[in-house]
Amino acid sequence: MVMQNAWRALIVAGLCTGQASPAAAVEQGVARPAHWPAITAPNSDPAIEARLDALLAAMSIEQKVGQIIQGDIGSTTPDDVAQYHLGSILNGGSSSPGGDEFGPPSAWVAAADAYYDASMRPNGNLPRIPVMWGSDAVHGHNNIVGATLFPHNIGLGAARNPALMEKIGQITAIEMRVTGLDWTFAPTIAVARDDRWGRTYESFGEDPAIATSYAAALVHGLQGRRGDTDWLKGPHIIATAKHFLADGGTDGGRDRGEATLAEADLIRLHAPAYVAALKADVQSVMASFSGWNGVKMHGNTSLLTGVLKQRWGFDGLVVGDWDGHAKVPGCTPTDCPASVAAGLDMYMGPASWKGLYASTLSAVQSGGLSMDRLDDAVRRILRVKLRAGLFETGKPSARPLAGRYELLGAADHRAVARQAVRESLVLLKNDGVLPLRPGAHILVAGDGADNVAKQSGGWTLTWQGTGTRPEHFPGATSIFAGVRDVVKAGGGTAELAAHGRFTAKPDAAIVVFGEDPYAEFQGDRADLYFDDARGTLDTMKRLKAAGIPVVAVLLSGRPLWVNRHINAADAFVAAWLPGSEGGGVADLLFGKADFKGTLPFSWPAEAKGAPLNVGDADYKPLYRYGFGLTLADRTPAPTLPEDPGIVVDQLLTGLIFARGRAVGTRLLQIDGANDSPQAISGAADNGAIAVRPVDRDAQEDAREVSWSGKSRGTLIIADPRAADLSGAGPLALTLAVKVDQAPFAPAMLELRCGPGCTARLDIAPRLAAIAGQGWLAVTIPLGCLPDARLEHVTAPFALSSSAPMRLTLSSIALTPVKETPCR
């Protein structure tokens, strides 16, 4: 496996802009607004401004403070909204009504009504202000079972079709209105400059031209057009341009990191799309987690106030990201008046909202946060609510389109999504095998062949896009199902065999493979080497050796180094993350439409992953930005170099579990007394052991593990490839752990080394000794496990108990140690 684990990801660095100014390393993160392009802001509506004056005069300080706070529905009840006057709620990536991520759309409408009704309860003489609900609808209304799932932005960037983007925005808004919601945290108009970034697939491309050309179309699709009677109303919703600013320009592609570049490059690369969005009257802008030259965006007065509000005249609201204010120096998740003072109008305080309310109220009362700044923030929030008609439209279930569930995944919506798939695919190689004959016998192989979750990627029903099942995608079409439909109509046959083992020799094979779903920082990488853990390359080579033409379809959220797979294929398609309409892939493979997508990102010639962007002085891609073949291009391709330029052996030491996931090709598993190990990604419970994502330093970057005591349960970090650790010197397991409930019976730490080979050590006394003490590092030398054999380690960590126990893990690492006495 490539050296891509989180340990290494923390230390890999590189310039984000390719050709950044030499001044980038020394400039402070203070913008000079006069150097930025000017925008002529539209005039405000005098009638709305008069209503705002009256509302502000009638509101209490407590009510004003509540308006600038947004809580997550997983931590905020309707009663909380009423008591604390909260201005907004959101459903985070892992939050849903009643905690059921796969619940019916009607549950969303009922919840929206409950929160709205709470906000409108009479409270003395205070004016009633409706709450608004924000949601990450980033590739369709992707939180809802049965909704239309469009290709992620990276695929849409390949389409180069602004008119199509407006249609996608319109459909997304309609499907959100069906479920009673009124505000999306989209579009993401980031310009990703380092493809190792875990959010690269949320970017339209490495050149700002694509995002700039799309911003207005998407905003208009979502919001409608200013001056029209249905602007922000009826079938439209409130849009958000995010993440301001340079979230895609961080050093080393590290999510929430630091963008180190000159102000001129910040303007050139990362500002144009925002200018376009503001000219289209976007009503919300989300501040980025990241920083610029040492100043976090949530605290950057020069950008939030000086550029965005003053230079550009933005009169909508600036909303924070998930506890993003906590990264401002001197701040915590529950206390950060400095962020509001800098220009933030609404805190996103998912579970921290109550503490934020108390600390912000105190800051206003003591003069630490000025009343003028508070009034300005509230005015902006209420201005958006008034423009959107929230004061007049009544409860969500009574608004136009609410409850019309037949519109979720409607046929005409799916037709637009299928068009988007057709236009997003990029043909990188075709030795003449494409288009395939519909009347042929086609083998469809690979773990992505019949897998809607994999083809949809992160931000799909769950935050990470994991933990779903096929029944959670009613109406969706996998790539195999799309192929099957085409060949059936053409008189042919399609055979599904994930590992490529066929019953009758096919005329051609389609192999669908690629990255598993991820989102945000959990997708950060140290390089761009494709970790072929499932042996797809072997399958392709075996098929080709049998004389079967091979068409490779890569599912990925970024360009990857896959030279060996390209060499093993007769045709190679970059399909990105196409969403729910896999039939669009089949349309192109069988020639029902031609390829028109072109690369929105330069394709790497080596796996190191250093920034590679069009316009770089030393620009040497494998496939240039804008490359893309059509079916008329049938020239045999030369054999590509198969040296990735990095060491690709599995790292023997370092993190094996981090950021809520097993690292690399390792698997996080649980099993019970009578069960086989079950690989897990999100929450899971087999009765003996339960695992759920929790926050330590970032969203869902740790796992709480509970043993019920009903039977033996085991948490496992499995290594399918088996590692030889015998030559690595003395090693220890180092756990970053918080023991919430100590075991009263043995808790066996295990190292597994193949059939019949398990070394065990009871660490219950160690865990009991640190119970209730918060986060600590616990180091256990492997030499303390009796009979540990390190030549063939199939699980470097397992923890088993039959007693009730609860602990939280944020990381597990194999670390070199000196010979240490066991105790």
Location of structure tokens 């915590």: 332
Tokens 């319109």 belong to residue:
170
How far is CA 99 from each of CA 75, 92, 395, 588, rounded to the nearest angstrom? 10, 11, 22, 39
The 3-state DSSP class for residue 670 equals strand
CA distance 671 to 713: 6
List the structure tokens of 268.
């050139």
Q: What secondary structure does DSSP assign to 266-302, as a single string?
A: IIIIISHHHHHHHHTT--EEEEPSSEETTEEGGG-HI
For 604-724, strand residue ranges (E) read: 654-658, 661-662, 667-672, 678-679, 684-685, 689-694, 702-707, 713-718
Distances (CA, A) of 361 to 321, 367, 446, 561, 709: 21, 10, 56, 52, 45
d(CA 344, CA 338): 9
Contact residues for 398 (Cβ-Cβ < 8 A; gap 6+): none
- Give yes or no: 206 in active site: no
Active site (annotated) includes residue 642: no
Helix axes 371-387, 46-58, angle to 10 degrees: 130
Both ends of the chain: CA-CA distance in Å? Answer: 34
The one catalytic residue in 72, 136, 263, 520 is 520
Catalytic residue from among 80, 321, 345, 527: 321
Amino acid identity, position 724: D
In DSSP notation, 762-802 reads E-HHHHHHTTTS-SEEEEEEGGGSTT---SSBSEEEEEEES
Residue type, 290: S
For 172, phi then psi, to 5°, come to -60, -45
Note whether 140 and 408 are within 8 A (CB).
no
Distance CA(530)–CA(560), nearest Å, equals: 6
Q: Which residues are catalytic?
A: 321, 520
